[in-house]
Amino acid sequence: MNIKKIKQFSILVIASMAVLTACKDTEVKPEDKPQNSTELITTMKLMLTDSSTGLTKTFVFRDTDGDGGSGPSTFDTIKLEAGKSYTCKVLLLDESKSEIDTISNEVEEESHDHLFIYTVDNINVRFEITDKDKNNLPLGLISKWRVGAPGKGKVKVTLKHQPGVKDGSASPGETDAEVDFNCTIL
């Protein structure tokens, strides 16, 4: 090795380093409004259609600033009538962005990775999932609710993300949404 080579080499190295440091992949400033393109579920809407009358009532959980921050801005109590049956459709939204994103469309798109679970606490409602994914396993975006005697309790709606592990049971995967609604049967 001679001096010339080393010199040339080092100049090359320094130049390439300078270039590397200079071209930062994105120039974001601390004061810039952060771009949040990530997905967030802020809102769960349950649209319950009375099978006998065809009337639809909507019950909402809404927390537009996501986890933490302020608590939910809307948290409805589900009101049902004794002895009736309802068709329930679930709508999941991301209302944190200026353009509202309908997450339930993505859930439907990837239905074989998702499962809704309906459970009750101290109240007389029976659930039946009526939609299926491509593998003929239950999905739960649509369900049938059969209401019993009057009372007060809770209805819990859980969305599980089960990529690659869905077997129709509640156990695998992680929880994407879980809202424990207060429920009154009149």
Partner 1 sequence: MKQIIALICIAVAYPLFGQNNNCNYSIKGVVIDSVHKTRLGLTEIEVFGTKNRTESNDSGGFVLKNICKGRIELHISHILCEHIHLNLDLYQDTFIFIYIKHEEHNLKGIAVEGKAKSNQLNTLGIENIRKFSGQSISGLMQEITGISMLKTGFNVGKPIINGLHSNRVILINNGIRQEGQNWGMEHAPEIDAFLITEIENIKGPAALRYASDGIGGVVTLKAVDFFSAYKSRALYGEINTIAYSNGRGRNISGIIGSKHIGKLPLYWRLQGTYKGSGNAKTGSDYISNTGSREFNYSVGLGHKTKSNQIEFFFSRFYNKIGIYQGSQSGNLSDLEKAMQAQRPLIQSSYTYLIDRPYQSVRHNLMKLSDKYIINSVNSIELTFAIQDNHRMEYDVLRSASSYQGPVFDYYIRTYFSELLWKRFRFHGAELQAGLSANRQANAYTGRYFIPGYYQNTWSAFTGIQKESGKLKLESSIRYEQKLLETYLWKGNTMSTNNRDFKGLVYSLMLTYNINKQTRLSFLHGSSWRPPAPNELYSNGLHQGLASIEIGDSNLMPERSYHQGIEGHFKIGKIELDAEVYTKYIKNFINLIPSGTPVLTIRGAYPAFVYSASDALISGLNVNVNYRFTKNYFIELKAQLLNGQNLDQHNYLSQMPPYRFKMNLGTQRKKVSFSMNCNYTLRQFRYIENTDYLPPPPAYFILGADLEWKPEINGRQIFISLNGSNILNHNYRDYLNRMRYYYGEPGVNIYLKLRIPFETLIN
Nearer to partner 1 (CB atom), residue 96 or residue 185: 96
Nearer to partner 1 (CB atom), residue 29 or residue 149: 29
Residue 43's nearest CA partner among 113, 120, 97 is 97
Tokens 């156990």 identify what position?
171
Q: How far is the CB of 104 from partner 1 (least distance, A)?
A: 11
Nearer to partner 1 (CB atom), residue 146 or residue 156: 156
| DSSP string for 115-162 | EEEEEEESS-EEEEE--B-TTS-B--SEEEEEE-S-EEEEEEEEEEE-
Widest Cα–Cα separation across the chain: 95
Q: How far is the CB of 62 from partner 1 (least distance, A)?
A: 9
Whole-number Å distance between alpha carbons of 87 and 93: 20
3-state secondary structure (DSSP) of residue 157:
strand
Bridge-based pairing state of the strands 101-102 and 114-121: unpaired
Where does this chain bind partner 1 (CB under 8 A)? 1, 3, 6-7, 10, 13-14, 17, 20-21, 24-26, 28-44, 61, 63, 65-69, 71-72, 75, 103, 106-107, 109-110, 113, 161, 163, 165, 171-172, 174-180
Q: How far is the CB of 146 from partner 1 (least distance, A)?
A: 25
Nearer to partner 1 (CB atom), residue 50 or residue 170: 170
Q: How far is the CB of 139 from partner 1 (least distance, A)?
A: 14
